[in-house]
Structure 1
């Protein structure tokens, strides 16, 4: 290495880092030597562990997305990795940021520090340390009592009472009864008003679903966050620092990618042909109501036989577990020997009942949620991998209804026999894991579903999944 000069750099936190610049004799490029000052280095490469960093480049986004990013940074003082990944779909991102800003910062029944603490409680139920840490910082910034962060037992009794509702909504929403609501509204001490409770429920479901998106897309902590940095120097092994910067020496094996591509060739075409055949069958004959009810019961039973991937217990860290009272997770809503009544959407719908109730008690939130649900349901660019002008509505409705089927929700006008035609077992395992036990989602699982699809299509699929996760409890 040939000596060049000494220099100083101004980092994002305005600290000055002194470095010794040298020129690599093998490639005539500058490298830097640490002069003893501990400099944090990001643990991950980019906003996601699952999506290559080159796919998420802020400098390459279109003007509309750039404007959304700038507005988010101006409002929050940061641009988090969730927003960067969600930026694949700017229209949805805009709605998401608008909804979250309203829930957390605009006038509402709950105080600001209560809102962030409820966000912590909700994220902790799904063991999402990323969101927990994010809202721990926000909670302190808006004047929250740091003692509450020592554990749920240190929070006010009113928030502790919300714990039961939190765990049921997160893991087994079909068990929610009128009594749970009455206990919160009619408590002799520390009771909730109906408006406060609506605000709290929307926050809980928002962060339960956002935790699924965080795990499902492999969101990494930002460099300034807990778990987002290290002070260890990079391991250079036998490579020059310039080689490392250019991506050499990281186990890139083109032959492996080629093998995967050959393995999945034709997967999309098979799915498109099934969609075509199902549409033709629909046009020729329509199943009776009795037959459709039988097919729903059959699919409901089969969904119990689909185990979540890596089906073992995930032990949460103390930083997360202290924010809830007891371990509690998803269990199939209708196990053998038990009978749970099916919830028919026609008996109580978001459009006819939920929307008006939410809007009356927490003005404008009903409209924001409705926009989010409609946008997620219609989130399509009529593409499937390399194919354009494809009507994907049949596939999207199969996913929509399968997720609700796992929570005991039935649509009378849907033929549940279509689900097995369009969703193979491995895809069902992925969906169930992502929605019911998101903390068990792995990179291998992300790569194994829709293998010919683009990353933007996969992110769109996750937005669809998690909006349903929020939509179900809102029913």
Structure 2
């Protein structure tokens, strides 16, 4: 079934993927198939589960948080899903509020426009709409909303580092920094540039969370200044599945979800009990192996599924520029060794010096998500998940060419199975391709809140990776 161009974006426009042909044949025989999930904060998480996870007192606390750190004072869909982890949400909202509202190097309308530019790189209409609304509230320079061609040259000059940070941050150099801060009427001060870079990285990463968590567009009666939220050219019914019986929609060859969980816990236990440490040479070899194997992690099994297309392209330059595997590059760039330039030892102090206090805000957010734990895995309690959280974070950095000499990358292969790696790579590197079936394909025994925690880790790991590359380039420029 081909999509009618006139119906693109409507809720009943879809194309049937190969994996669903047999399911639809079952439907013709009167057998039950999953129903579309089209309402609530998330297309992946049933609204009932979000509400059940947010008791009245917690809901009140969330409202108080939003009242303190937003202009609307309302819980939007993003906040409701992130609110499954209120400790993290507070840190996130405080940091975002500081970036967008508190006195800093950049005026507010610049901040929201940069947010629009960053979100548009990933066709994230949810975030673009949010900051178009904020821009309209400010009521300045409204002609900029017609597209990048209508924005001042100074903002357009950010296009290059916007696309590089979003897709291939390892390419950013001191020359990019020099070009932006050189003398002239359109130049940026280092403080302004750091503010802009943090905003770009923040909203690139937030787009990953939006797509990874299936955040639904807000219901807004006044859509006059709204962009189309998602127009779909390959919409499969399995991506909107909302049913406990998803076996028909899972990838062929997947193990039973219960044995999958038990196997993961057994691997964690075995790794924790191992006493012999690998040599530095062996750990270096394991990193290179993991980096090379990331080339083989593709979403090929999902290629006939949903591919979002949005009409925010007016805010995007060079739209064909996208993620390219770090391990596949031909420029012979060396691996980024974290011991040479780390967040704790270098990035934190630099960003804090050039943009007062934002380093503390970011550091709190990074630490909160890394340390966040409820000591459980699915139905099992009193579980130390430190090793698993670290593997998720370091795998993202590995895909971006960042290596920790004191980390054994053999743990990544032990703890992250292939369907989870596909999900991680998609959400982190090209989040607009994320589908419901990818989300459902891993950790099927785990709670939705645990998968949201995964998305928080991926988001912060991605943001930190972008900042490390950008701040290292700024340091090279300054020295």
Q: 2:285 aligns with which of 284, 294, 318?
A: 294
Distance in 2 of aligned mates of 1:70 and 1:204: 27
* Contact in 2 for aligned 1:334/1:340 (Cα 8 Å): no
Q: Does 145-154 or 203-212 show the bigger shift?
A: 145-154
The aligned counterpart of 2:354 is: 361
* Contact in 2 for aligned 1:140/1:146 (Cα 8 Å): yes
The aligned counterpart of 2:324 is: 331
Extract unaligned runs of 5+ from structure 2.
Answer: 1-36, 230-239, 469-479
The aligned counterpart of 2:57 is: 63
* Contact in 2 for aligned 1:220/1:228 (Cα 8 Å): no
* Contact in 1 for aligned 2:125/2:228 (Cα 8 Å): no
In the alignment of these two chains, the number of paired residues is 410
Aligned pairs for 1:30-109 within 5 A: 44-57=38-51, 60-73=54-67, 75-77=70-72, 78-109=74-105
Extract unaligned runs of 5+ from structure 1.
Answer: 1-42, 230-249
Root-mean-square deviation (CA, aligned residues, Å) is 2.5
TM-score (norm 2): 0.81
In the superposition, relative to structure 1, how do residues 420 and 466 fare at CA in structure 2: closer, same or farther (>3 Å)?
same
* Contact in 2 for aligned 1:358/1:365 (Cα 8 Å): yes
Distance in 1 of aligned mates of 2:103 and 2:266: 51
Distance in 2 of aligned mates of 1:373 and 1:255: 36
Distance in 1 of aligned mates of 2:355 and 2:106: 10
In the superposition, relative to structure 1, how do residues 172 and 308 fare at CA in structure 2: closer, same or farther (>3 Å)?
farther
Displacement after TM superposition at 1:108 (Å): 0.6
* Contact in 2 for aligned 1:383/1:389 (Cα 8 Å): yes
The aligned counterpart of 1:147 is: 143
1:390 aligned counterpart, secondary structure: coil
Aligned pairs for 1:192-203 within 5 A: 192-203=188-199
- CA deviations on 1:296-336 (whole Å, 9 max, x unpaired) are 1111111122124545895743x311101111110011316
In the superposition, relative to structure 1, how do residues 337 and 165 fare at CA in structure 2: closer, same or farther (>3 Å)?
closer
The aligned counterpart of 2:336 is: 343
- CA deviations on 1:147-204 (whole Å, 9 max, x unpaired) are 1111111100000000000001100001010101111011533000011001101100
Distance in 1 of aligned mates of 2:277 and 2:148: 53
In the superposition, relative to structure 1, how do residues 251 and 379 fare at CA in structure 2: closer, same or farther (>3 Å)?
closer
1:45 aligned counterpart, secondary structure: coil
* Contact in 1 for aligned 2:65/2:90 (Cα 8 Å): no
Q: Does 412-421 or 63-72 show the bigger shift?
A: 63-72
The aligned counterpart of 2:273 is: 280
* Contact in 1 for aligned 2:53/2:84 (Cα 8 Å): no
Q: 2:402 aligns with which of 409, 415, 420?
A: 409
* Contact in 2 for aligned 1:58/1:84 (Cα 8 Å): no
Distance in 2 of aligned mates of 1:123 and 1:320: 9
The aligned counterpart of 2:263 is: 270
The aligned counterpart of 1:5 is: none
* Contact in 1 for aligned 2:190/2:354 (Cα 8 Å): yes
Displacement after TM superposition at 1:340 (Å): 2.1
* Contact in 2 for aligned 1:358/1:366 (Cα 8 Å): yes
The aligned counterpart of 1:214 is: 210
In the superposition, relative to structure 1, how do residues 95 and 58 fare at CA in structure 2: closer, same or farther (>3 Å)?
farther
TM-score (norm 1): 0.81
Aligned pairs for 1:393-404 within 5 A: 393-404=386-397
- CA deviations on 1:370-410 (whole Å, 9 max, x unpaired) are 00000111121111000001111111111111110100000
Distance in 2 of aligned mates of 1:255 and 1:316: 29
The aligned counterpart of 1:320 is: 312
The aligned counterpart of 2:185 is: 189
Larger radius of gyration: 1
Distance in 2 of aligned mates of 1:252 and 1:154: 43
Q: Does 436-445 or 76-85 show the bigger shift?
A: 76-85
Distance in 2 of aligned mates of 1:413 and 1:457: 27
